[in-house]
Structure 1
Amino acid sequence: MTEEEKINIKEQFNYIVKNGIAPILKSAGFRKKGNNFHAHAGELDWCINIQKDGWGFDRYFNQWGFTINIGVTWSDYAICLFNKVSDFPLEGYCPIRARIGTIMGKGDY
């Protein structure tokens, strides 16, 4: 795969996040930082991360993949574990986590 193809794939990924996923999540009350989204609802914090596959592209074919990670946390948990509450918690620090493919019964992706 050429450098130009890799750049094109990154641009496609960024376009999908920016113009496809972000508007839907923002309309549902999520805030965005990079490929992370956060929404506070009642006592819960909902965290979503858009994760590229291991390399961001398949080195043999001109294709790429990503998955969506979902996490849920709450203030008492953050205080007990981290001694503070974040204004923008990340999915990786949530005690309850799942990948969208697992939730849909399709495995990791």
Structure 2
Amino acid sequence: MSALMTQTSLFVKMVFQDGKRDEGVAALDTMLPTVESEEGTLVYSFHLDAGDANTVWIFELYTDGDALGIHGGSEAMGALFGTLTPLMAEPPMMVMATPTPKSKGLPA
């Protein structure tokens, strides 16, 4: 089985209250030093929705489900959600997936 078949990806949609998106993105940015030290976190990127000024999409890629669990269970993640929750208009939507073997641009 290829490395891609064991990788775990996560797509997260975060909808912030009116005028709170930039504050939310700044809070998300505080996770970057943490994910830099997480060996199993391969990609951690934030994307502003082109059609909704309050929505941010997050793409995460992990070596496997265990790495996702380490990231999700970290103290830094708990602190982040303590900061993000009052800024959000609705709970985050999360979709877990597995990359296909013919993906372009993903780390092997």
Q: Tell me the TM-score normalized by structure 1.
A: 0.30
Q: Which has the larger radius of gyration?
A: 1
Structure with the bigger RCO (C-alpha within 8 Å, sep 6+) is: 2
Q: Tell me the TM-score normalized by structure 2.
A: 0.30
